[in-house]
Amino acid sequence: MVFPQPPNEAERPAALHKLEILDTPPSPAIDRICRIAQQLFDVPMVHVTLADAHRYYFKAKHGGSAATEVPRDHAFCNYTILHDEVFVVPDALTNQSFAQNPHVMGPPYIRFYAGAPLTIRPGVRVGALCISDVKPRSSALIR
């Protein structure tokens, strides 16, 4: 799968590595944010992801698989880090960009996705806070 990349892709992972938070132990504060988001939006899956060059590392997560990372090839967050706004996919199964994604066609069977970019300075988005569901939803529910 080919995924879009931000125009500053060379700068973005370098900025992430300077933070020295990849592959670090869980953070109780970030875990708490995930639990709050899960309750607030009533979704089965919440993730805080960090976009390395070839993978998304889960800094925190609730629900979904036991994986600690996913290849960038299959991550919805690739689209989230392109913009400063929340990126929403109301029904991944009917979305041309995601219908054949292995995370839609197989476990965890994502249908709804919303991601807010994690921005460390203007234009430099290093990851996302993501909520997902196994059923489609209206994008109006999260705006």
Domain assignment present for residue 143? The answer is no
Domain assignment present for residue 37? The answer is yes
Report the domain count for the chain. 1
pLDDT in tens, 51-69: 999 999 999 999 988 889 9
User: How far apart are the C-alpha atoms of 62 and 16, rounded to whole Å?
Assistant: 22
CATH number at residue 17: 3.30.450.40
User: How far apart are the C-alpha atoms of 88 and 113, rounded to whole Å?
Assistant: 6
Range of the domain at 122: 11-137
Q: Tokens 């990349």 map to which residue?
A: 5
Domain assignment present for residue 40? The answer is yes
β-sheet bridge partners, residue 115: 87, 130
Enter the pTM of the model: 0.92
CA 22 to chain centre: 15
pLDDT in tens, 102-137: 999 999 999 999 999 999 999 999 999 999 999 999
Domain assignment present for residue 128? The answer is yes
pLDDT in tens, 11-58: 999 999 999 999 999 899 999 999 999 999 999 999 999 999 999 999
